[in-house]
Amino acid sequence: MAEEEPIPAATVIVMREGAGAPELLMVERAAAMRFAGGALVFPGGRIDPGDHALAALRAGDRDDLAARIAAIRETLEEAGVAVGLDLAAGRIADARRALHAGEALGGLLAGAALEPEALVPFARWLPTGVRHRIFDTRFYLARAPEDAEPIVDGSENVRAFWASAREVLDMADRGEAVIIFPTRRNLERLVRFASFDDAVADARAHPIRTITPWIERRGDAEHLCIPEDLGYPVTAERLDRALRA
């Protein structure tokens, strides 16, 4: 049977400076969710028609703009953190409720400036051969607003918190958290950076080329592999140990 048409999606790696290493905004997906249920992920989701409508009002690559706008909207909706959006802290709770009620982001922008240029392209992943829906996901970096504290949405996500990339990887290695293959690879890349600016410099030093992992036999085991020239320090994992959601 042919695979489903990939669903355009976007996610944002929100970073704030921490003691010794940047901290990342992580959310835990509800266990019942079809995609990545129970896993720790970066906030994000599918790109919807409203995102394309807002993108059409601006000059530039419409698909990239729509993805940035989706990442901004999803981060506000899922975690109550306004990146790429000059929204007063006192309006965040009302804006989240409106988004959950189905209102489009464009309807919430009176007195708030949408700033998609604040997001920095980091990667693009498009898996194949997986059991779940296939997402064509653009990853972006964004600096956290000062004093931003996440809020759990209570439906798609059951936890939201700040942690360094190393802390999240250690949690997963101790069996205290679940992370899927793309999240692990991105965390391994992020763990090398001492600041948001370091991450941005690395992102700009590597091309954004769609990453589609493939299976390759190495030694006595099959491995799930990605290209070696896109900035990732670990580019293969045994297939029987890789979590593909």
Rounded to whole angstroms, the Cα distance separating 237 from 226 reads: 9
The pLDDT of residue 238 is 95
pTM of the model: 0.92
198 within a domain of the structure (yes/no):
yes
Can you read off the two tokens belonging to residue 122? 């980091």
53-67, 79-93, 182-196: least confident range: 79-93
Determine, yes or no, domain membership for 219: no
Q: Is residue 236 part of a domain?
A: no
Reference 183, options 195, 168, 196; nearest CA is 168
Which pLDDT belongs to residue 202?
97
Looking at the DSSP bridge assignments, the partners of residue 161 are 26
Amino acid, single-letter form, for residue 102: G
Is 2 inside a domain boundary?
no
23 domain-assigned:
yes
Total tally of structural domains belonging to the chain: 1
Among 42-56, 103-117, 139-153, the minimum mean pLDDT is found in 103-117
Angle between helix 181-190 and helix 165-173 axes, rounded to 10 deg: 140
Q: Is residue 213 situated within a structural domain?
A: no
Residue 41 in contact with residue 72, Cβ under 8 Å? no
CB 114 within 8 A of CB 65: no
Q: In the predicted model, is pLDDT for residue 121 greater than 90?
A: yes
Tokens of 46: 């599918």
Residue 77, CA atoms < 13 Å, CB-side half-sphere: 21
Give the 3-state secondary structure of 2-71. CCCCCEEEEEEEEEECCCCCCEEEEEEECCCCCCCCCCEECCEEECCHHHHHHHCCCCCCHHHHHHHHHH
> CB atoms < 10 A from the CB of 233, how many?
10
103-109, long-range: CB within 8 Å, 24+ apart, which pairs? 104/50, 104/53, 105/50, 105/51, 105/54, 105/69, 105/72, 105/73, 105/76, 106/50, 106/53, 106/54
Q: What is the mean pLDDT of residues 18-39?
A: 79
Structural domain including 48 reads: 7-206
pLDDT given at position 2: 53
Is the pLDDT score of 130 beyond 80?
no
CATH code of the domain containing 46: 3.90.79.10
Residue 99 domain-assigned (yes or no): yes
Going by C-alpha positions, the residue among 107, 72, 106, 108 that lies closest to residue 93 is 108
Tell me the pLDDT tens digit for each residue of 162-193: 999 999 999 999 999 999 999 999 999 999 99
Residue 124 has pLDDT above 60, yes or no: yes
Per-residue confidence (pLDDT) for residue 18, from 0 to 100:
87
Residue 192 lies in a domain: yes
